[in-house]
A and B are shown apart, each in its own frame.
Chain A
């Protein structure tokens, strides 16, 4: 048993090493997103050498048999036979070994590989979560919660003290007064919570390729943040010229033909924070993705909302400019010019293609905020 556990531990170390070695590939291709379960992801590890049995000589040939002379080399027994048909010319398809990894393990590998600092939550743990903890005993309760050991001991004690117990016939029969039941106490557990607001431009110039980049990057951002906080609330906002809050599926699968007004998304995000996610209770993270082709006259309004309402409320505001078939727009440059270095919670990243996702994640999460 111990050997198996040791082997399993060693196997998991090898798997983690392989995943770490190929993390950039996994991040870039996003192939594990579709394999995400509730708490586990299934990862194909093609390069892993799986131990396997090999056929031996099975006793053929050997020493001390036959008519050999002294000093004659010993060869394999049997006569080699001619095979049928030529050797194959195509490479083998290879075997993909799928290993399951918890999201926490995946986040740990991501953190180690990208050298991400652990996040220091802002402010106090203001949210109190109530939990039922089964840590007491009562005389009444449902039979499903009966504490058998305590009930038995109590019955035994009673039988011994009343002289009913017979060591030669050690039957212990609990009566109603002996029965003990597990019970719970409600405890208040202070919890540091985080909320993530994703905003995406779904205007006509954003293609499916750009959305796939956003989806891949969001998966890794989610994985890391979820490993850093006990509870994560995720909200999604899409916009073209107007913005609205949507569910996750709509977020990734909507395409509109409207113009691009980034201020509309900022407005909805600011309302969401004001009405549902007060910064005093939540560590807030905003991730916005666009191709940067904002309609020129909208920039000032966007900067006003960002500077006055969003940046003072959030731990991080990350803007990822995803390059569209028409190149990257000017919004990132305008943001840089407008806000400069004065807000260290504002992080900007240009994502030219899938290969750039890895560095972008590192850039976004590298501050440990």
Chain B
């Protein structure tokens, strides 16, 4: 069973218990961890999403960059365009962020994806309020978007 199908079932189970928390799914060398702050029949509030895999154990910077570009091309439905911002050849890490970040009167909010050798792909959301330090915040997305996101993370690795 692929990860997004397994996650879908987990979400149904979590919803029936009425408690958010950790949703995990396994598919061969791939392990999906989804830290949920809240969920209902329509949407989830997400602390962090991580797809860990040994497939990236020896990946070089060029491979990670290709994965980053693939993700940038696929993730077109998050309301903010995602672009590779920094490619660190020393640590073999690619950082993607919303570009431009979403601005409002009070500050800026953006997604950050890290593709690391080792390896993993993770997604978090940050908010920088005016005059305040940057903080990690939850991302609120529909369950449909979450499942599509997981499917795209898997596809980018293939």
Contacts and interface: CB of A to CB of B under 8 A. Distances in A.
Nearest to B128: A327
Of B99, B100, B134, most A-chain CB atoms within 10 Å? B134
A328 B127 CA distance: 11
B110 A259 contact: no
Interface in A287-311: 295, 297
A326 interface: yes
A165 B129 CA distance: 94
Interface in A209-267: 240-242, 257-261
B134 A329 contact: yes
Contact of A327 (B93, B95, B107): B107
A333 interface: yes
Where chain A touches its partner, the secondary structure class is loop
Interface size, B (range): 20 to 34
Contacts of B90: 241-242, 259, 261
Interface string A95-126: 00000000000000000000000000000000
B134 A328 contact: yes
Interface size, A (range): 20 to 34
A297 B92 CA distance: 13
Contact of A259 (B86, B107, B133): B86
A274 interface: no
Interface string A169-208: 0000000000000000000000000000000000111000
Contacts of B89: 241, 258-259
B134 A257 contact: no
A259 B126 contact: no
A261 B26 CA distance: 34
B110 A330 contact: no
A259 B100 contact: no
B101 interface: yes
B97 interface: yes
Nearest to A323: B128
A204 B86 contact: yes
B84 interface: yes
Nearest to B130: A352
B101 A326 contact: yes
Of A204, A240, A329, most B-chain CB atoms within 10 Å? A204
Contacts, number: 64
Interface string A315-336: 0000000000111111001000
B88 interface: yes
B81 to A, nearest CB: 13
A331 to B, nearest CB: 12
Contacts of B107: 327
A328 B85 CA distance: 15
Contacts of A295: 88, 91, 93
Contacts of B91: 241, 259, 295, 297
Given A325-B100, A328-B133, A333-B133, A259 B128 contact: no
B101 A259 contact: no
Contacts of B110: 326
Contacts of A205: 85-86, 97
B30 interface: no
A330 B133 contact: yes
B87 interface: yes
A257 B93 contact: no
A240 B86 contact: yes
B108 interface: yes
Interface in A322-367: 325-330, 333
A258 B65 CA distance: 11
Given A326-B126, A327-B128, A327-B134, A258 B108 contact: no
Nearest to B95: A259
A261 B86 CA distance: 11
Contacts of B85: 204-205, 257
Given A325-B108, A330-B133, A260 B86 contact: yes
B128 A328 contact: yes
Contacts of A333: 133
A322 to B, nearest CB: 14
Contacts of A330: 133-134
Interface of A: 203-205, 240-242, 257-261, 295, 297, 325-330, 333
17 contacts: A204-B84, A204-B95, A205-B86, A205-B97, A240-B88, A241-B89, A241-B90, A257-B84, A257-B86, A258-B86, A258-B89, A260-B86, A261-B88, A325-B99, A325-B101, A326-B97, A326-B110
